[in-house]
Copies of this chain bind each other. A is one copy, B any other.
Amino acid sequence: MPLVRVSVAQDIYNEHLQRISDAIHDSMVTTFDVPAKDRFQVLTRHAPNDIICAPEYLGIPHSGRVVFIQITCNEGRTLDMKKALFARLASSIEAGGFIKAADVIVSLVEVKKENWSFGNGAAQYAP
- Minimal Cβ-Cβ distance residue in B for A86: B117
CB distance from A11 to the nearest CB of B (A): 15
Copies assembled: 3
* B111 close to A107 (CB less than 8 A): yes
* B119 close to A90 (CB less than 8 A): yes
* A58 close to B115 (CB less than 8 A): no
| B39, B89, B105, B110: the one within 8 Å of A118 (CB) | B105
> Bound state CA distance, A127 and B58, in angstroms?
15
Interface residues of A (CB under 8 A from B): 1, 3, 7, 14, 17-18, 21, 35, 37-46, 49-54, 56-58, 60, 62, 68, 70, 72, 79, 82-83, 86-91, 101-112, 114-124, 126-127
